[in-house]
Structure 1
Amino acid sequence: MHSRDVLKRHAGLVDQMATKLGVDLQEAAIGGDVSMDQLSDAVLRCTGCSNPEHCQGLLDQHASVSHTPEYCRNQDLLSKLMP
């Protein structure tokens, strides 16, 4: 079981990455494009990432991004949700 702080950190990374890609996860959930279970799974996948510091650095440096990093465990989900 992951600690609350770890889950919060990775939930933030997932949300920030989605936002940088132009995806509003809340709207996607309301619109039925993604379920709450899928979002929970995305956070859990993110906790298994070996490079969250690089990801955070990328998110901090760029106003927007056109794609996730190669190592992103949520690449498929986020790509499907992109406008």
Structure 2
Amino acid sequence: MSFFDYLISVDVRTELTGRMMQKLGVDRQLKTVPDQVAVTRRAVDRCRSCGHQDECAVWLDENEQPDDPPDYCRNRDLIARLQRAGGLR
């Protein structure tokens, strides 16, 4: 993988993380957590290490108002905590 391919991969996964947080309604809640930058960075890192990039993109396109992320999502626990903190659960 070239460095350019790596940068594209990081950008795509950053986008997937953002789309997932927004789709599940926790993007605003994420902005209020202590050390939001580090928490977001770790969420992107978990997404980056996931092997379901294409599957995730399709899931995000096909699910308009999901209650939960897909089972394979490595940010499931974070999303659940953000939903509880935001009164969404």
Measured in 2, the distance between the counterparts of 1:43 and 1:10 equals 7
Question: Is the counterpart of residue 9 in structure 1 residue 7 in structure 2?
Answer: no
**CA RMSD across the alignment:** 2.0
Q: TM-score, normalised by structure 1?
A: 0.83
2:63 corresponds to: 62
- Tell me the CA shift for residue 6 of structure 1: 1.3
Kindly tell me: are residues 15 and 34 of structure 1, through their superposed partners in 2, closer, same or farther at Cα, counting changes over 3 Å?
farther
Alignment partner of 1:64: what SS? coil
Counting only pairs closer than 5 Å after superposition, residues 4-83 of structure 1 correspond to structure 2 as: 4-25=7-28, 28-29=30-31, 31-32=32-33, 35-82=36-83, 83=88
- Tell me the CA shift for residue 24 of structure 1: 1.9
Whichever residue aligns with residue 80 of structure 1, its letter is R
Structure 1 residues 9-43: Cα deviation after superposition (integer angstroms, max 9, x where no partner): 11111111111111124x532x2356211100111
Unaligned ranges ≥5, structure 1 = none
- Tell me the CA shift for residue 3 of structure 1: 2.2
